[in-house]
Amino acid sequence: MSTTFWIILAGAVATYLTRVGGHLVISRFETVHPRVEAGLNAVPAAVLTTLVAPAALGAGPAEWAALIVTALVSLRGGLMAMFLGGAAVLIVARQFVG
């Protein structure tokens, strides 16, 4: 088997163990402190920021246009509208702007 397969498998196992481990730790407590809950609720936004920020800093005009449209659609629309709007703008902008 290739090295790529083993890397993917190791990543999948590490992800699974991290999720299960977090669930087991939190399930040991009867109540979760409000600060802990607030911190856990902030994790998805923090992860999204770490994924988007490096790409946005090295992005061209097409990516910036898609990012702006996605941000504007997110103020009014749902998740699917935001995704589709950003993807559509990105596809069209890359065809015309480059």
pLDDT at 98 over 70: no
- Note whether residue 58 is domain-resident: yes
Nearest CA to 66 out of 92, 46, 45 is that of: 92
- Note whether residue 31 is domain-resident: no
Rounded Cα gap, residues 47 and 53, in angstroms: 10
Rounded Cα gap, residues 74 and 37, in angstroms: 24
pTM score: 0.55
CA dihedral 81, 71, 86, 90 (to 10 degrees): 170
pLDDT tens, position by position, 39-73: 888 888 888 889 888 888 888 899 999 989 999 99
- Note whether residue 94 is domain-resident: yes
Could you list the residue range(s) of the whole structural domain that residue 53 is in?
45-98
